[in-house]
Structure 1
Amino acid sequence: MDPRCFSESIYNLIPRDVKAPPQPPRYTSVFKETVRDDMKKSKTAMKTMGPAKVEVPSPNNFLKKHSKEKTLPPKKKFDWSGPRKPPVPRRCEHPVMGVQSGKNFVNTNAADIIMGVAKKPKPIYVDKQTGDKHDLETSGLIPKFINKKDYGVTPEYICKRNEEIKKAQEEYDNYVQENLRKAAMKRLSDEEREAILQGLKKNWEEVHKEFQSLSVFTDSIPKKIRKQKLEEEMKQLEHDISMIEKHKIIYIASK
């Protein structure tokens, strides 16, 4: 039969059983057992429910009758060797009659109460609305320390520290005064001031004379530079002269 005539063949009309292709083997990870062990460990570590694994009590240790009742201490034997009280008088013995005391107990008690000092109440304090009372002496609210002999006296170590601080401050002040004395400014006398002023004026005249001798045309760079330099020197000398003339008293810092 020609394979090109499948659609035209009558045999194709007969239904055939379709066989399903075989399934491939199921994939199983090689880390399955490792993951399973890790999950068991983590679950066991976080497990909080269930009966606790404790030692089961023995059946012999059941609760017995009167086991929770308090037991009395053992009785002590009486010591008959000690002193005894006088015996009870007999029936035939009679008390001494007719003995009277001259003391007036009523007046004596009244006089003791009148002449006695009134009893002072115990100092207390209340810290709640319900009226809870507490001893005031042991509470720390009473200023007992002011009655001490050394109360208010500066301790010895503080006095010593203050003396050391005072001594260090005096040494520092002396050091500062010595440095100020060494770096003190010197005042110029009138003769020195006049001599400096005349010297500055003389220098200005020399620079001015040199400036006047310059050529009128500054057509080269060296001429321009020289002219600019002489102008700056004249300005500086004029500034110095005006400062010395303005201030009569001048101080010079020592080197």
Structure 2
Amino acid sequence: MSGESVYNVIQEVPAASVKGARFQSSRAPAPTASTFGLHGTSVVLGNVAGEPATASVHPQKKSTGSFGRTVLSDVSTADFLKKSGSQQITSPVLATTKHEKLKAPIPKKEEKPVMGLKTDKNFVVANAVENILSIPKKQSAQQPRAVDRADYGAVPEYISKIKTELKTQYSLVDSYKQRKAQDEERYSLLDSAEVQQLRYSLQRRWEVLNKEFQTMGFSVETYSQKRHQDDVEKELRAVEAALQKINKPVIYIYDDTR
């Protein structure tokens, strides 16, 4: 087959590349801006601008900045501070031993409570007797008494103000009721026969005015004819309005002379 050769069976070993020397820049190292290991120092950031040397007098990395202080072999766990070891007991109540107890223990589940206890003591009477027989407290001379105050027993200012406002409101309500009662006295019920008579008279007057208005011509020649036509039309509208008002089951009239 074309392309086959015994020389292709043997693989060629690639030549090892020769690595040159590492490049070293003549300038300052690249900035890193790291805060690792700077806790507790005045240095905020280290190597921000690529300084060739430490800018501060403090070291940028402490000896305990990575994993804490070095634990030596002389450190013993028995010397560690115990619980509440730094507290100083000054109160006599707290200075109790382990066996002393401040209050009675909680009863166990096997202990049964005492049942059926009764008393004949009247606590209301006992409380009254105790307060009656008790000695009153002495009033010190420095403490002022309530009865010695200048405003003792005087009516507060806000109560007088409220009474004045209530009195004004009551007077307004009374005056309104009086005016309403006076207005109601001036109204009187119109008799049904009188209503029928008024209705009949108004209807007859409307018929007369309507007939007179219909007989007038459309063309008005003189000023007197025009004025007479306007007067008839106004009176006709007034009669129609009176008929609408009087067509009610109950009619009250107002007497303005009272």
Task: Name the larger-Rg structure.
Answer: 1
The normalised TM-score by structure 2 is 0.32
- Structure richer in helix, relative to its length: 1
